[in-house]
Amino acid sequence: MPGDTLRLGLIGDNIRASRSPLLHRIAGEMLYIPTVYDRLIPADLGQSFDAVFADCAATRRGINVTYPYKEVAARKVTVDDPLVRAIGAVNTVLFEPEGPKGQNTDFTGFKAAYERVRGEAAPGTVLMIGTGGVGRAVAFGLAGLGATTLRLVDRDRAKAEALAVELREAAPAMTVEVADDAEAAGRGADGLINCTPLGMEGYPGSPLPRAAMAGGAWAFDAVYTPEDTQFLTDAAAQGLQVISGWELYFYQGVHASQLFTGQGLDEAVLRARLRED
C-alpha cells in the first residue's frame, strides 16, 4: 500500500557494486512506495545463507538472490510455475503468509533484453559458457526464443550434463550439446554467451579469447558491473551485435518490482533515471 515501507534485499557474495538497490529505490519513488532495499552478504553478516534467508522471511516482503545462491534458494521455496521449477534456480522470493514463493525474473528478463536488442531475429546456434543459476535461466530463455542448437560449457561438466538432460526434456526442438573446450565449441556459433562470474568486479578476464569470436553474430554477457566487460568489448571489436548485462539487470529488476509491489512501471522513465545516476 502507498505509504507503507516496502522492505526488500539482495543476498549474494560479491554485490557491493550491485545497482539493484538503486533500481528498487527509484521504482519505489515512482510508485509512491517508500522502499528499503539492502545488500545482504552472508560472510559480512557472519551468518550462513540459511540464517540470512530466515531473517529476511521474518522482516521483509521479499528478496532477490544472486550468485552463488540461486539454486540453493530454489530448494527453500514453493515454485508454482512449472517452467521455473524446471530451471531449478530462483532469483526472486516473496515471503507470503503460507510460506516463501520463488520466481525467476532472470528468465523473463533475458528474453526481454534479447528482444529489445535483436527484435525477432532468431538466436540460431548458441555457445553458452557457465551453467549456474543465471545460466540455467538464460538457457531456458533461449529455448523460448527458438534457438536451434545450444552448446553448453562449464568447468563442472556434470552440471552442464545435468542441465542438458533437463533442457532436452523441456525443449525437444532445441539440440543441446555439452563440450569441454569453449573455443572449439564456439566455432560456427551465431551467439556467444558468458554466464560465468568472469568479467565482474573482483573476477577480471573473459572466458573466450577475442579471436574465437570471429564469425559470430551476437554476444551477451550476464555480468553488468562493469557494463563494458572484456567479453563484450572483444565481441564488439569482432563485429558482433552486443547485448549487455545491464539490459538483463534492468528487465529482471522491472519484473521483480512488479512481483514485489503488484504494480507496473513506466520503463522509459525508469531507464532514463537509472542512466542518469
So what's the pLDDT on residue 202? 83
- What is the spatial distance between Cα 20 and Cα 61, in angstroms, rounded to a whole number? 16
- Which regions of the chain are under pLDDT 50? 1-3
So what's the pLDDT on residue 140? 97
- Helices vs. strands in the chain: H and E counts, helices first: 12, 11
So what's the pLDDT on residue 109? 97
- What is the spatial distance between Cα 25 and Cα 195, in angstroms, rounded to a whole number? 27
67 labelled catalytic: no
So what's the pLDDT on residue 243? 98
Among the options 37, 69, 249, 251, which is catalytic?
69
Amino acid at 141: G
Amino acid at 133: G
- What is the spatial distance between Cα 169 and Cα 155, in angstroms, rounded to a whole number? 23
User: How large is the greatest C-alpha to C-alpha distance in the chain, in angstroms?
Assistant: 56
Q: HSE (CB half, 13 Å, CA atoms) of 276?
A: 7
So what's the pLDDT on residue 1? 39
Q: What distance, in Å, lies between the first and last C-alpha atoms of the chain?
A: 27
Report all structural domains of the chain as residue ranges with CATH numbers, in order of start.
Answer: 6-104+248-276 (3.40.50.10860), 107-244 (3.40.50.720)
Alpha carbon of residue 23 to chain centroid: 15
